[in-house]
Amino acid sequence: MKTLKKLSLAMVLSGLFLLFSCSGSDSHPDPKSEDCTKTCSTGFILNTDTCECEKEACTKTCDGNFILNADTCECEEFVAAVIEVDASVVTLTGDWKKRTSIADYTGEGYIVWEGPGQTWKGNIGEVGKLTYTIDVLKAGTYLFQWRSYIAKKADEKPWAEHNDTWLKFPDADDFFAKRDGNTLYPKGSGKTPNPAGENGNGFFKVYMNDVDKWSMISSTSDNNAHQIYATFNEAKKYIIEIAARSDFHAIDAFKLTEQKP
């Protein structure tokens, strides 16, 4: 009898537990088990898992000189940031000289290397190195150009002598040259492929071929001219280094122009 009473009591308690459990479940249904009927405003879509409105991804394509503003999903005209540097405003080292004898220079003057050429030396970039600081206010990739002049004409092939200087962006997030989709990196940067010509220590040999005029041509890779770029992932100050290569290559100014993303 005692055993039967214990069994009966256990069954009653078990039944009551199930009753209250089912009753509690019915009175507090899982909101995810019900269909979400929320309506989202324009530009938002409903996440049916969370029943929350989320910003809709923008898939608009912009043409011409316009870029997409992902926040507004509108096409906006691209206005390139431009950084300009007077090459003569620097602490000169070695045989770099500040001159004003060539007409039509800009700023305070221009600089010219009047020491021995540094074309075949093993210590590339260590002789006559000058350091400039630029303030990048807008992150992005920039085309690099300098305004330079052949300050001493050779008797033979004057366009191919006294026409180049070493260049390096030591703390840029990327430093490379491009032509027709082909990308090159300076020898010594740890990246490949490298351009033709005697480059090294992370410097590009940058040359021009105009005679008797200031030129914005700033190319690397012998006989296969590539334009030069630097990428800055943050808006902050960065370093430009140049170093002597050809004697009597004069440099007036630097220009960096932001490229359309």
Summarize pLDDT for 182-240 with one digit per residue, the tens. Answer: 999 999 999 999 998 767 899 999 999 999 999 999 999 999 999 999 999 999 999 99
Residue that is written with structure tokens 């069994």 in the block = 7
Predicted pLDDT of residue 90: 97
- pLDDT > 90 fraction of the chain, expressed in percent and rounded: 65
**193 prior amide bond cis, ω within 30:** yes
- Give domain limits for the chain: 44-77, 82-258
Does the global pTM surpass 0.85?
A: no
**Residues 115, 127: Cα–Cα separation, whole Å:** 10
Q: Are 133 and 150 in contact (CB under 8 A)?
A: no
pLDDT one-digit tens code per residue, 123-175: 889 899 999 999 999 999 999 999 999 999 999 999 999 999 999 999 999 99
The CATH code belonging to domain 82-258 is: 2.60.120.260
* Of residues 261 and 251, more confidently modeled: 251
**One-letter identity of residue 226:** H
Question: Quick one: which of 61, 116, 128 has its CA closest to 248?
Answer: 116
Q: How far apart are CA 28 and CA 63, in angstroms?
A: 53
> Which pLDDT score, from 0 to 100, does residue 11 have?
53
| C-alpha–C-alpha distance, residues 49 and 230, integer Å | 44
Q: Where are the beta strands (DSSP E) in 157-225?
A: 164-168, 174-179, 182-184, 204-207, 219-220
Question: Cα–Cα distance between 229 and 47 in angstroms, integer?
Answer: 42
